[in-house]
Structure 1
Amino acid sequence: MKQLSIKHITNLHSDSLRGLDFYAQELGILQERLEEILADNTNKEVAVQVEHFQNEFIIHNNAIDELKSSIHENNNNIKDQISEFDGSVEKITISDNHNLHEDYLTEERLFNELRHEFYRFASKWM
């Protein structure tokens, strides 16, 4: 049977949570830039793009919050199971951990794509 170190899982959780905190802060910065662009440009094309990015920022902010909550829940489940099952963790919990890490990597990729798209937009209108 393949064993997975709890320390490895804890490190993945910590790394993911730090990354999500960074992306949440980055969303705040991007929102400020978006507001600057809107204040400087009354063009209808700009307004449409601003609305697009505001919607994307809301979606990513919600995804970040949900992922952080799921990671904390998974971490608590692992801690509870270690105490309850004498150091063992159910396979489903490990599977959930793997899925959460994949979700984090997906969010990271999607966020970076959005950030690059926003920078292209911002360079045109700032």
Structure 2
Amino acid sequence: MKTMKTEVLNHEDLHFEHQHWHSELAFWEDELKSFKNRLAELIKRWSSKEVLTQLEHFQNEFTLHNRVIDDLKETIEKHEMNIAGQTQSGHEAMDINLSKKHVEFREKMESQRQIYADLKKEFFRFLTKYM
């Protein structure tokens, strides 16, 4: 007979993970600012339609990614408020719904990490070619 292991998610652990995610998102925001500065430099250097089209592509991608970061931060804040509400009611462990949402969000963060890493690789290849 198999026994099933049940993982209990404590509020402290989730809060720690949220703090880590906030730091990561803040880092991405800072990086995107520096990437936009690079774009501004390149706009001054290049007049080729091909290069300007690629610059616009990256500008759009960076703007989109900033929106995603804002959405992720908002989701974290809402989740923190839900956890705080549960803590005030005297529960130390998460209820099933909040636990499930947390795990889903963790997967979303992992996916977004990959998307962002791919964007950075693409941008650095572009910079190597045109800087």
| Range into which the TM-score falls when normalised by the shorter chain | over 0.9
Q: Distance in 1 between matches of 2:47 and 2:118?
A: 26
In the alignment, is the contact (CA less than 8 A) between 2:39 and 2:55 conserved in 1?
yes
| One-letter amino acid of the structure 1 residue matched with residue 126 of structure 2 | F
Equivalent position of 2:64 in the other structure: 59
Q: Are residue 9 (structure 1) and residue 14 (structure 2) matched?
A: yes
1:96 to 90, 97, 101: 101
Equivalent position of 2:33 in the other structure: 28
Q: Structure 1 stretch 104-113 or stretch 24-33: which is displaced more?
A: 104-113
Equivalent position of 2:113 in the other structure: 108
Q: Are residue 74 (structure 1) and residue 79 (structure 2) matched?
A: yes
Shift of the 86–12 alpha-carbon distance from structure 1 to 2, 3 Å rule, reads: closer
Equivalent position of 2:55 in the other structure: 50
In the alignment, is the contact (CA less than 8 A) between 1:31 and 1:54 conserved in 2?
yes
In the alignment, is the contact (CA less than 8 A) between 1:16 and 1:101 conserved in 2?
no
4+ residue runs over 4 A deviation: none
Structure 1 length as normaliser, TM-score? 0.93
Cα-to-partner distance string for 1:35-56 (whole Å, 9 max, x where unaligned): 1111100011111101110110
Q: Structure 1 stretch 47-56 or stretch 97-106: which is displaced more?
A: 97-106
Query: Which has the larger share of helix?
Result: 1
Q: Distance in 1 between matches of 2:38 and 2:22?
A: 25
Q: Distance in 1 between matches of 2:125 and 2:44?
A: 18
Q: Report which of the two structures shows the higher radius of gyration computed on alpha carbons.
A: 2
Gaps of 5+ in 1: none
Over aligned residues, Cα RMSD in angstroms? 1.3
Equivalent position of 2:3 in the other structure: none
| One-letter amino acid of the structure 2 residue matched with residue 68 of structure 1 | K
Q: Distance in 2 between matches of 1:86 and 1:8?
A: 14
Q: Distance in 2 between matches of 1:66 and 1:16?
A: 13
Q: Distance in 1 between matches of 2:83 and 2:125?
A: 42
Q: Percent identity?
A: 30
Gaps of 5+ in 2: 1-5
Aligned residues: 126
